[in-house]
Amino acid sequence: QVQLVESGGGLVQTGGSLRLTCAASGRTFGDYVLGWFRQAPGKEREFVAAIVLLTRTTKYAESVKGRFTISRDNAKNTVYLQMNSLKPEDTAVYYCAADRSLLLRDYERAYDYWGQGTQVTVSS
């Protein structure tokens, strides 16, 4: 079992930055893929980024490439999502999720554990 807790969301202006944190507990941290998803009002949840904790291999959605960076600190059982050059369309609830495979997958059903989410609002 893995518990995930997100933090770091908030309100920011267009062009600003935020860093989201996902703190994991309850299992050997190095065996997982950790991913970030987001869900905007009235829309389906979508993939943002993922990282293989063992190798640091990463994958990003096209919409965030070059603006967002996912990273991890295994000693702290923590994954970060650095978000720069934020746009109003980045407004969403951001969720951290864990996948027990070592595959970088970008769809919801691949992930076994989910956090409660943190709200990110980008004002224009």
Express each pLDDT in 39-54 by its tens digit: 999 999 999 999 998 8
Mean pLDDT for the chain overall = 94
**Residue 28 scores a pLDDT above 80:** no
Reference 116, options 9, 33, 1; nearest CA is 9
Burial 39-53, CB ≥16 within 10 A → b, else e: eeeeeebebbbbbbb
Question: Are the CB atoms for 22 and 6 separated by under 8 Å?
Answer: yes
Please determine, for residue 107, whether its predicted confidence score (pLDDT) is greater than 70.
yes
Position 14 scores a pLDDT of: 98
Q: So what's the pLDDT on residue 121? A: 98
